[in-house]
């Protein structure tokens, strides 16, 4: 039974998050040949102020780009 944790910066809509876990679940089931009922997927959201890449937080990067966090 696959256990899959997806960690992402906060800021996605509930619909986007639901689409993501559904797509990951389906792909994992197909990849390892198990029924989708045997796959466990969960999301961990990290505040945009606590995700850093290239010396900038996600909040700083999205603010500079004029976008919503995430």
Instruction: Look at residue 26 in the predicted model and tell me its pLDDT.
Output: 98
Rounded to 5 degrees, φ, ψ at 41 are -130, 135
**CATH no. for 3-65:** 3.30.429.10
Is 20:5 a contact under the CB 8 Å cutoff? no
Which residues are designated catalytic? 2
Task: List the chain domain ranges.
Answer: 3-65
Task: Report yes or no on whether pTM surpasses 0.95.
Answer: no
Instruction: Look at residue 30 in the predicted model and tell me its pLDDT.
Output: 98
Instruction: Look at residue 52 in the predicted model and tell me its pLDDT.
Output: 92
In a structure prediction context, what are the per-residue pLDDT tens digits for the chain, which is 70 residues long?
A: 999 999 999 989 999 999 999 999 999 999 999 999 999 999 999 999 999 999 999 999 988 988 765 5
């Amino acid at each position: 039974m696959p256990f899959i944790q997806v960690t992402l910066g906060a800021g996605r809509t509930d619909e986007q998050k639901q689409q993501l876990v559904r797509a990951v679940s389906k792909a994992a089931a197909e990849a390892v040949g198990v029924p989708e009922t045997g796959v466990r997927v969960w999301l961990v959201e990290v505040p945009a102020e606590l995700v850093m890449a290239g010396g900038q937080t996600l909040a700083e990067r999205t603010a500079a780009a004029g976008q919503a966090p995430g």
